[in-house]
Amino acid sequence: MIDNTLFLQLFAEPNTQTTGLNAEHNDLSPEMKTFYRTSLLENARNANYFAQFGQKQGLPKNGGNQVEWRKFDTFKLATTPLTEGVTPDGNKLNMTKITKAIQQFGDYTTVSDLLELRAIDPVIASITEEHGAQAGDTIDIIIRNELVSGTNVIYAPKSDGTEITSRADITADCKLTPTVINRAFTQLKKMKAPTINGDYVAIVHPSVIFDLRESEGWLNAHEYAKPEEIFNGEVGKLHGVRFLETTNQKIWKTTNGAVYACLFLGKDAYGVIEPSAESMEVIVKSRGSAGTADPLDQRSTVGWKCSTAAQILYQERMVRVECGSSFSKVDEAN
């Protein structure tokens, strides 16, 4: 996180920052623009949970309004014995290009003339930090909405073993259990989904983690042999699956209560645009820059804008488990 008490005067132009009404004295220097953009990007990445497992693609320069990912087919097994002195036909690399339209999102905050846009003023840094968290959550939700549209679904059964066949039938009794986790793990294995650093990853809601922590075999993240290598939001591991919790995970509301999406992921199951200085921008408008829209030079604005997209690349590398929890009666849809 950016320290808002940081003394920013070193970025200011010498002796030009005055309290006068001349707008040109309130322009940000290139150094300040870089500082605020870095602040926005760092705080956006702190709120990043879903994007960290996607196949990342940079924002294409002069590439129009679409982003492209390449999906490679798996080679068939080479079970035919080689013949001495005879070169086999070899294999062809089959590649599919998947494109997705790039969309822009953004927001801004208006600052009154009682608050000067001066380099020593930490308020702009504070606003940028808040917008960074907002931008990160926005991107996270956009990616989440794409991922919960996956076609491989498991409905958690009731505690007595009664099978559930639809979201509408899930109750608080249909919790995410070690048995259900094993089912998701096994399904990914059977679909030959590659692991992420040796394990699969599941992104779930804190209300689901509450029920899971007491399970036999649960290992808290801080107890790992190398806790410094945990993912953002990681809380523990069970049966070969590393669990992350985030309140951004999808919740549906039915007549039986809240139903929670639990996304089990293999490597590169989906593609995302990498949050970067090219895809994300902080925009500061000093007071007086709006012309007749601000006739008394009363307002300045601080805002952000980003270009992003997300796309499922391999349906066979992800499984969505839908379940209830102890909080199904009180949690709301999101």
By C-alpha distance, which of 111, 71, 76 is closest to 95?
Answer: 71
Residue 15 has pLDDT above 50, yes or no: no
Whole-number Å distance between alpha carbons of 139 and 263 = 17
Give the predicted TM-score (pTM) of the model. 0.82
Whole-number Å distance between alpha carbons of 34 and 45 = 16
Name the least confident of 112-116, 197-201, 237-241, 275-279: 112-116
* Contact (Cβ atoms closer than 8 angstroms) between residue 306 and residue 37: no
**What residue ranges do the domains of the chain occupy?**
22-74+87-145+281-308, 150-270+314-323
Q: In this predicted structure, what is the pLDDT of residue 113?
A: 64
* Side-chain half-sphere CA neighbours of 104 within 13 A: 10
Residue listed under structure tokens 């986790």: 181
Residue listed under structure tokens 């939700």: 141
Class of domain 150-270+314-323: alpha beta
Residue 84 has pLDDT above 80, yes or no: yes
Q: In this predicted structure, what is the pLDDT of residue 262?
A: 98
